[in-house]
């Protein structure tokens, strides 16, 4: 009997990449490959790369370097690279020069070509480097092998038109393209029929979603809210400049829309925001926060903040600290600014010295952690509905899951299953999670 071939996918970066990896897994499964958790014994390794986070690209090159040993010992081992980094010509050139043993390189716009690329590598024994420039269209109907049983990512749009001056995404993911509303609705209906309870709608700026029939993002949410079986709707990411009153209203109007918004602010300084090309001011952002809390008083607000953007002064940074204290973010992703080749900010003078960047970063994280702890403490004594995600490996009576406000809760309970909703009394809190007991 022929040996079944196996694959391993390593994914760096954001939810978009995770979702793309689900599609790659679907394509490989349709070709008859089976997933193998061990990268060194798999027949095919696909590395899905990220060019946004600096440590993701250095981790990628580390992993790739280690693969040479496997390739030397098993020449039939196929190594394929994809994702945002591969949409950058200088990266592809470096791969060709320094890692000539890589078999396949493809980009974010031609995932669907992977089966053909693999077939030709196997049958013609030649490498394939096929990256197509940012396209206009969307390829629908690709298979998918989902990571989770009861929650799913759903792309509603691709690309970005905002060109924040530090960001590589508009160059690697292309212009904004929205999926047809009916395609999204039928995908979500199928997910619900398959037992999915929670969906997360994905787009670089979901607020600028525009369906072919004119439906905007709030209308899409209203339609999805009516799908039986779906209990929770989340979305990310939302650009403050496009956050409409209609969408803010959806938090009180649509029962399934979770009370959580990820609203990246990036900086609290108006002059930095202007140089980042964000198109809002600190006052605009604070106004949005006020409206959100009026529409949904317990809403949790999370954010992204970049420290050390070119020209950021001590005063600019103090503005960021003061905004963080005023908003009281539930949590935040913090980034040290890093130059992305080809972006406008690459050419900005006045780079902030590394030492200053790190010192500011640590101060900011200290302030943000203090706020998270305080916000989490306020949950103690409340009963929260938790969608169960898993069971502890070491203590079978402990489970974990999230509140609709996206707080991670570890709780004691008699047997419950992933995907079940359980009422949990919150008994304790930390900076990053809550603890509780099922309210039985």
Residue 337: alpha-carbon gap to chain centroid: 18
Burial string for 294-326 (b: 16+ CB within 10 Å, else e) reads ebbeebbbbbebbbbbbbbeeebbebbbebbee
State yes or no: residue 239 binds ligand SF4 (CB under 6 A).
Answer: yes
State yes or no: residue 237 binds ligand SAM (CB under 6 A).
Answer: yes
Q: Is 111 helix (H, G, I), strand (E, B) or coil?
A: helix
Binding to ligand SF4 by CB under 6 A, coded x per residue (else -) over 252-281, reads ------------------------------
**Residue 338 partner contact from ligand SAM, ligand SF4, none using kind-dependent CB cut-offs of 5 to 8 Å:** ligand SAM
Comparing CA positions, the residue from 374, 361, 370, 369 lying closest to residue 334 is 361
State yes or no: residue 17 binds ligand SAM (CB under 6 A).
Answer: no
d(CA 418, CA 113): 35
Residues shown for the chain: 440
Which listed residue (64, 82, 121, 160) binds ligand SF4 by CB under 6 A? 160
Whether 270 contacts 298, CB under 8 Å: no
Interface with ligand SAM by CB under 6 A: which range of 219-227, 281-289, 337-345, 394-402? 337-345
d(CA 264, CA 285): 10
State yes or no: residue 205 binds ligand SF4 (CB under 6 A).
Answer: yes
Backbone angles phi, psi at 437, to 5 degrees: -135, 135
The site for ligand SAM, by CB under 6 A, has a size of: 17
In angstroms, what is the minimal distance from the CB of 166 to ligand SAM?
A: 4
Interface with ligand SF4 by CB under 6 A: which range of 155-163, 206-214, 227-235, 361-369? 155-163
In angstroms, what is the minimal distance from the CB of 195 to ligand SF4?
A: 32
**Residue 219 partner contact from ligand SF4, ligand SAM, none using kind-dependent CB cut-offs of 5 to 8 Å:** none
State yes or no: residue 335 binds ligand SAM (CB under 6 A).
Answer: yes
- Bridge partners (DSSP) listed for residue 34: 6
Considering the complex, state which of residue 101 and residue 333 has its C-beta at the smaller distance from ligand SF4.
Answer: 333
State yes or no: residue 169 binds ligand SAM (CB under 6 A).
Answer: yes
State yes or no: residue 14 binds ligand SAM (CB under 6 A).
Answer: yes
Using a 10 angstrom Cβ sphere, with 0-12 exposed, 13-18 middle and 19 or more buried, the burial of residue 338 is: middle
Site for ligand SAM in 340-399 (CB under 6 A): 340
Comparing CA positions, the residue from 82, 238, 42 lying closest to residue 156 is 238
Interface with ligand SF4 by CB under 6 A: which range of 32-40, 62-70, 164-172, 209-217? 164-172
Residue 30: alpha-carbon gap to chain centroid: 25
**Residue 163 partner contact from ligand SAM, ligand SF4, none using kind-dependent CB cut-offs of 5 to 8 Å:** ligand SF4
Burial string for 226-258 (b: 16+ CB within 10 Å, else e) reads ebeebbbbbbbbbbbbbbeeebbebbeebebbb
Q: Is 335 helix (H, G, I), strand (E, B) or coil?
A: strand
State yes or no: residue 306 binds ligand SF4 (CB under 6 A).
Answer: no
In angstroms, what is the minimal distance from the CB of 214 to ligand SAM?
A: 24
Site for ligand SAM in 46-75 (CB under 6 A): 52
Which listed residue (16, 91, 131, 164) binds ligand SF4 by CB under 6 A? 164
Residues in contact with ligand SAM by CB under 6 A are 14, 52, 166-167, 169, 204-205, 237, 239, 264, 266, 304, 306, 335, 337-338, 340
């Amino acid at each position: 009997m022929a040996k079944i071939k196996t694959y391993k996918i390593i994914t760096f970066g954001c939810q978009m990449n995770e979702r793309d990896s689900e599609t790659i897994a679907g394509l490989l499964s349709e070709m008859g490959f089976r997933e193998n958790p061990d990268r060194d014994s798999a027949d095919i390794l696909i590395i899905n790369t990220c060019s946004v986070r600096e440590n993701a690209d250095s981790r990628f090159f580390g992993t790739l370097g280690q693969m040479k040993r496997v390739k030397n010992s098993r020449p039939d081992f196929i190594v394929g690279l994809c994702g945002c980094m591969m949409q950058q010509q200088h990266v592809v050139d470096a791969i060709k020069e320094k890692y000539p043993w890589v078999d396949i390189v493809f980009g974010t716009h031609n995932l669907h070509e992977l089966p053909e690329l693999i077939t030709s590598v196997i049958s013609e024994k030649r490498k394939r480097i096929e990256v197509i420039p940012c396209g206009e269209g969307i390829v629908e109907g690709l298979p998918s092998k989902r990571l989770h049983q009861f929650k799913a990512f759903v792309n509603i749009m691709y690309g970005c038109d905002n060109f924040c001056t530090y960001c590589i995404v508009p160059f690697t993911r292309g212009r904004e393209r929205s999926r047809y509303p009916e395609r999204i609705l039928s995908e979500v209906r199928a997910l619900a029929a398959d037992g999915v309870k929670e969906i997360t709608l994905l787009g670089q700026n979901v607020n600028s979603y525009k369906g072919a029939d004119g439906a905007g993002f709030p209308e899409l949410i209203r339609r999805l809210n009516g799908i039986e079986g779906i209990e929770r709707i989340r979305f990310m990411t939302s650009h403050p400049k496009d956050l409409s009153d209609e969408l803010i209203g959806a938090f009180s109007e649509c029962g399934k829309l979770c009370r959580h918004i990820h609203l990246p602010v990036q900086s609290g300084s108006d002059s930095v925001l202007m140089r980042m090309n964000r198109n809002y001011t600190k006052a605009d952002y604070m106004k949005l926060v006020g409206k959100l809390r009026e529409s949904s008083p317990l809403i949790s607000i999370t954010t992204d903040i970049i420290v050390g953007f070119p020209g950021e002064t001590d005063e600019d940074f103090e503005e960021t600290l003061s905004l963080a204290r005023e908003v009281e973010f539930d949590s935040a992703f913090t980034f040290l600014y890093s130059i992305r080749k080809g972006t406008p900010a690459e050419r900005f003078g006045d780079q902030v010295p590394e030492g200053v960047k790190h010192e500011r970063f640590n101060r900011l994280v200290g302030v943000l952690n203090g706020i998270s702890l305080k916000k989490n403490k306020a949950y103690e004594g409340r009963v929260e509905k938790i969608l169960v995600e898993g069971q502890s490996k070491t203590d079978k009576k402990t489970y974990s899951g999230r509140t609709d406000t996206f707080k991670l809760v570890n709780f004691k309970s008699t047997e419950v299953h992933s995907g079940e909703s359980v009422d949990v009394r919150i008994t304790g809190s930390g900076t990053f999670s809550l603890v509780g007991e099922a309210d039985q």
